[in-house]
Amino acid sequence: MTAPQPSSKNRPQSINVRVLRQHEPGGKSYWELHKVKYEREMNVISVLQRIAAQSTTVDGQKVTPVAWDCGCLEEVCGACTMVINGRVRQSCSALVDRLLVENPDEIVLEPMSKFPVVRDLVVDRARLFRGLKRIKGWVPVDSYYNLGPGERIPQQEQERNYPLSQCMSCGCCLEACPQYQKIELTQAEGESDEAFEQRRNEEFDKAFIGAAGISQAMLFNNHPTGKTLAADRLEALSGPGGISTCGNAQNCVAVCPKEIPLTTSIARTGRATTLHAIKKWFER
Ligand code: SF4
Ligand code: SF4
Ligand code: FES
């Protein structure tokens, strides 16, 4: 599908791009206005490349290049996620022609607000990845011997799992979630890197995990080998910052670029954690 384009009559000569910048973690943020020459079929990454090459604001001031992150350039790695014209999305798949139809005056770029800023548009998503460790988001392999083919997965189960397996840990669902609050800690003077990381992980582990982690738990609990860790995952999601923190606002499902049925995963987790609690009670 081709993006709607500004008609040739309305096609601009240049595009105004307003960027929220921040030089360092915990630093003060400020707006900067750039202008780039319009070309057809640009995406936000190509706009950022031109801004970096110019490194000059709209009023001719020389500035340091704006920093951003990217990897795959095809909406698979999630690294380029940022808030574009007020909506969280991937900058590699955000097409300028479409953005200009939404707002012909300017493109506004901000880092995600739920993660600490590293620099400019680059954020630290460590908490998201910590969440995947918390729910043991993997299939355990217990030996290096050839154990033969794994259990066959019926097609109906494959169809249920496949959408969940498309999660790219981009963070859009967490950015949009009213229950997911930013955690930003600073390393104390004299605190070792290891001690800081441990303190940070303890904070992460108490806070709401968010829809991505919940959904990944359902994916691995529904895998023939992955389900051997099902009880551990349900235990993690029954504790502080687990499923009971979800307020069911459903913002997450509305912004997921992969259209993952997150609210279905949340409902499944709710039922599974209840059964887990009942089972534990009978085993006492
Ligand atoms: S349904 Fe739960 S996880 Fe999704 S946005 Fe609402 S509170 Fe957050
Ligand atoms: S569930 Fe969707 S929005 Fe959330 S991290 Fe995964 S791909 Fe991104
Ligand atoms: S660069 Fe990988 S999702 Fe955009």
* Same domain flag for 169 and 114: no
Host domain of residue 186: 125-283
* Same domain flag for 167 and 85: no
Q: Which of 70, 95, 119 is the last residue of a domain?
A: 119
Q: Which residues line ligand 1 (CB under 6 A)?
A: 177, 179, 210-211, 246-252, 263, 266
User: What's 64's domain CATH number?
Assistant: 3.10.20.30
Cβ distance 120 to 110 under 8 Å?
no
Q: Which of 61, 88, 119 is the last residue of a domain?
A: 119
Of all protein residues, the one whose alpha carbon is nearest to atom 7 of ligand 2 is 167
Mean pLDDT within 185-211: 97
* Same domain flag for 97 and 134: no
* Same domain flag for 45 and 153: no
Q: Rounded to 5 degrees, what angle do the CA atoms 3, 9, 10 make? A: 60
* Same domain flag for 29 and 108: yes
Contacts of 179 (CB under 8 A, 6+ apart): 208, 210, 245, 246, 247, 249
Would residue 2 count as lying in a domain? no
Would residue 232 count as lying in a domain? yes
Structural domains in the chain (count): 2
Average pLDDT over all residues of the chain: 94
Please tell me the distance from the alpha carbon of residue 223 to that of residue 49, in angstroms, as a whole number.
41
Q: Tell me how crowded residue 89 is: count the other CB atoms within 10 A of its CB.
A: 21
Whether pLDDT at 9 is above 70: no
Tell me the best of 128, 218, 244, 248 to mutate to test the pocket of ligand 1, counting ligand atoms within 8 Å of each CB and taking the most.
248
* Same domain flag for 186 and 92: no
* Same domain flag for 156 and 66: no
* Same domain flag for 36 and 144: no
Give me 24's structure tokens: 């360092």
Would residue 9 count as lying in a domain? no
Q: How far apart are the first and last CA of the chain?
A: 58
pLDDT above 90 as % of the chain: 89
Mean pLDDT within 178-183: 98
Cβ distance 218 to 233 under 8 Å?
no
Please tell me the distance from the alpha carbon of residue 24 to that of residue 111, in angstroms, as a whole number.
13
Using alpha carbons, list the distances in angstroms from residue 270 to 237, 242, 248. Answer: 9, 10, 11
Identity of the residue numbered 242: G
What is the atom index within ligand 1 of the atom nearest the CA of 214? 3
Residue 1: the pLDDT is 47
Higher-confidence residue of 59 and 150: namely 59
Whether pLDDT at 124 is above 60: yes
Mean pLDDT within 262-273: 97
Q: Rounded to 5 degrees, what angle do the CA atoms 242, 247, 248 make? A: 105
pLDDT above 70 as % of the chain: 96
What is the atom index within ligand 3 of the atom nearest the CA of 168? 3
* Same domain flag for 31 and 141: no
Please tell me the distance from the alpha carbon of residue 108 to that of residue 17, in angstroms, as a whole number.
6
* Same domain flag for 38 and 172: no
Q: Which of 119, 154, 181 is the last residue of a domain?
A: 119
Whether pLDDT at 2 is above 80: no
Residue 144: the pLDDT is 77
Residue 141: the pLDDT is 80
* Same domain flag for 271 and 136: yes
Whose tokens are 């360092």? That residue is 24
pTM over the 0.85 mark: yes
